[in-house]
Chain A
Amino acid sequence: MMAPFYELGRFGDSTGLVIAVLLGIAFGWFLEQGGMGNARKLSGQFYLTDLSVLKLMFSAILTAMLGLFWLSWAGLLDLSRVYVPETFVAPQLVGGLVFGVGFVVGGLCPGTSCVAAATGRRDGFALIAGMLAGVFVFGEAFPVIGGFANSTARGAWTLPQALGLSHGTVVGIIVAAALGAFAGAEWLERRAERPARSTRVGV
């Protein structure tokens, strides 16, 4: 038994779409359970009062990253058949900065805006409308900015290749960094809670 099953032709496109809906349901479920459909909770990340975004995101990355590493090590998964998002250095740095600014203004990200709208939040619907408008603006501007968007292409470039380290070493570094970030997040949340009780000095 070897994974990934779809890539190796074990089932077709229509089964793939059924799996898409089922995985989406579970994805939306866990995002809502973690409070990611609530923009006020998400915004706590940027003012260091509630770091749920960081905790959820890095717990998810660690889980999937370790799963991929162990399944590949055990010979159950062909890692070369798993899609790695391609690298475009300059547009991803600039796009990331722009995205981060939009995240603070909008308070939700594209995936969590769907959960917010599904649970009745009007701001989720407004953000979805904004996303569609933004994608349209990008599409119309593509003849002009397409050159930059396609620049500094590096293909499916991974951290082990870039750093000249083994897959296992990079996984170990990321696990250690994430555990450090979790400890830091817990400390920041405790610190944010304390002065809020004693001194109530406006904004």
Chain B
Amino acid sequence: MSDLATAAPGQTLGSAVAHVAAEAATVPRTRVRREPAPYSSPYLAGVGVGIVLLLAFVLMGRGLGASGAFSSVVAAAVETAAPTHAAGNAFYTQYLGNGGASPLEDWLVFEIIGVVIGGLASGLLTGRVRWTTEHGPAITSRRRLANAFVGGTVMGIGAKLARGCTSGLGLTGGATLSVGSWLFIIAAFAGAYAAAPLLRKAWR
């Protein structure tokens, strides 16, 4: 009888038992699905990226990048599929070198392999690795994947026209005070803010 007294007011014994049972059933699930840790301060993460970038300058005399690695992969694929076609195109040949080493034996390709390892390690240690699709509440996962593909295609064209992206021009060129890099940064933000109102439904 004294056990009943501990039940919350308005709660029947039956519902209290059901609640306890439901909680017990969720125990193994919560053990597997760890709560993701909150992201760290963007200022601190930025200083970390800045130190890595400075180390690249000091050790290698060059900065970080990303889109160049995509170019090497595409150039290598085109060369494998159609060697004469690749050899006759000045865009591909700048990534192919003069025979010998594979075009994938490239500094940025190795750096991007590192980025994947580092991102995965950080995600695993903070419980943030999830097989999921990040999308706004008003669109479906499928729509989001289509948008990501189209956005990636547009960005690939823009990055190659500008000879770099947010890493190679934004970070590396920003820190080395390259005029073209700062023009790119300003133009990229201008393009993004001009397009943002049209894509509000995809994100908000």
Contact = CB atoms under 8 A, between A and B. Distances in A.
| B47, B78, B176: residue with the most chain A Cβ atoms closer than 10 Å | B176
B187 A127 contact: no
A158 B172 CA distance: 12
A111 B190 contact: no
Contact of B60 (A7, A115, A116): A7
Interface residues of B, number: 126
Interface string A128-144: 11111111111110110
Interface in B168-204: 168-196, 199-204
Query: Which DSSP category, helix, strand, loop or mixed, fits chain A's interface?
Result: helix
Contacts of B201: 203
Contact of A37 (B119, B191, B195): B119
Contacts of B55: 23, 26
A183 interface: no
A68 B148 contact: no
B153 A102 contact: yes
A45 B136 CA distance: 14
| B51, B64, B157, B195: residue with the most chain A Cβ atoms closer than 10 Å | B157
B129 interface: yes
Interface in B45-62: 45-62
A193 interface: no
Contacts, number: 551
Interface in B9-54: 39-54
A35 B48 CA distance: 13
B123 A37 contact: yes
Interface in A1-47: 3-8, 16-17, 19-41, 43, 45-47
A27 B203 contact: no
A32 B121 CA distance: 9
Contacts of B50: 59-64, 67
A155 B61 CA distance: 17
| A20, A45, A128: residue with the most chain B Cβ atoms closer than 10 Å | A20
Contact of A40 (B134, B186, B187): B134
Nearest to A37: B119
Interface in B40-90: 40-64, 66-67, 70-71, 73-75, 78, 89-90
A106 B163 contact: no
Contact of A91 (B49, B71, B161): B161
Q: Which 6 residue pairs are nearest across A and B when measured between Cβ atoms? A: A134-B156, A24-B114, A106-B151, A130-B152, A63-B50, A100-B191
